[in-house]
Amino acid sequence: MTKPSVLVTGAGSGIGRAIARALLADGFGVTLAGRRSAPLHESAEASGIPQSDALIVETDVTDPAQVERLFDRHIERFGRLDVLVNNAGVFGANADVGELTVEDWESTFTVNVTGAVLCAGAAFRKMSAQSPAGGRIINNGSISAQTPRPRSVAYTTTKHATAGLTKSIELDGRAHQITATQLDIGNAHTELLDGIVTEGAVQADGSRRPEPTMDVSHVAELVVQLARLPLGVSVPQLTVTAAGMPFIGRG
């Protein structure tokens, strides 16, 4: 029987790294994609995981040709694509809409929206063409897809676009047994959130306060559970945050 397989973008660090490692440990074949090869190899290193279960593909998700090559290589290695974890993204500039430069907006949009759409499109084509057809696309929306932090207009706007992308995939994928999930994550502790623990985060009233965080492994466990669901089950949106963080009733 063919091993179920997952492609994870942004797998070289943070949430993507934790997800890729958890999927490998659970027995999935995993393609790890990212801009730099060395961090991807570090992500794949785990005790007892066969080398054949992990495929490393250095990829810029904003380049259509590289994206097509990434998905072709995944199919060549694993035979089919069961799940895409569409995770690659950047935070973008610390700015309000009046301060945001065109350059900062375009660089954030290109990765967070264009990159996500390119990867989702490639996954959709592979999933609809394979036999049996079907698959699951998990888009990392972030809680900023629902509620912004101060001075995060570029990031927040792109993550709201993720909501539209997810719903469109869910609708257009019905005929092909393709489902989509918007996974909104709040304060999963990776190296990117060290400042929230040590220095605090800027709040809506302008103050800076430390916020609760959760171990990123809990997010990775949720993704494994989503990946294990049968295609007859759809989870259009899932929000997971550190308990007590200022999200519900921010500010």
Distance CA 132, CA 178 (A): 11
On the question of pLDDT at 47 being above 60, the answer is no
Residue closest to 172 by CA, chosen among 142, 139, 127: 127
**Domains of the chain with CATH codes:** 5-241 (3.40.50.720)
CB 126 within 8 A of CB 81: yes
CB 145 within 8 A of CB 184: yes
Question: For the segment 160-181, what is each residue's pLDDT rounded down to a tens digit?
Answer: 999 999 999 999 999 999 999 9
Helix 14-25, helix 37-44: angle, nearest 10:
40
Residue closest to 82 by CA, chosen among 186, 189, 1: 1
Distances (CA, A) of 170 to 73, 163, 183, 231: 25, 11, 14, 12
> Residue 236's Cα: distance from chain center in Å?
15
The dihedral through the CA atoms of 145, 150, 155, 158 has a sign that is positive
On the question of pLDDT at 229 being above 60, the answer is yes
pLDDT recorded at residue 250: 59
pLDDT recorded at residue 164: 97
Q: Would you name the residues annotated as active-site residues?
A: 155
Neighbours of 218 (CB within 10 A): 14
- The amino acid occupying position 105 is W
Share of the chain above pLDDT 90, in %: 80
Distances (CA, A) of 106 to 67, 101, 110, 174: 19, 9, 6, 32
Residue closest to 18 by CA, chosen among 218, 211, 237, 242: 218
pLDDT recorded at residue 44: 92
CA atoms within 13 A on the CB side of 198: 6
Residue 21: pLDDT band with limits 50, 70, 90? very high
| Better pLDDT: 208 or 90 | 90
On the question of pLDDT at 189 being above 90, the answer is no
> Which ranges in the chain belong to alpha helices (H)?
14-25, 37-44, 64-78, 102-109, 116-129, 153-172, 194-198, 216-228
pTM for the model stands at 0.94
Neighbours of 113 (CB within 10 A): 20
DSSP characters for 71-91?
HHHHHHHHSS--EEEE-----
pLDDT recorded at residue 245: 85
> Residue 34's Cα: distance from chain center in Å?
12
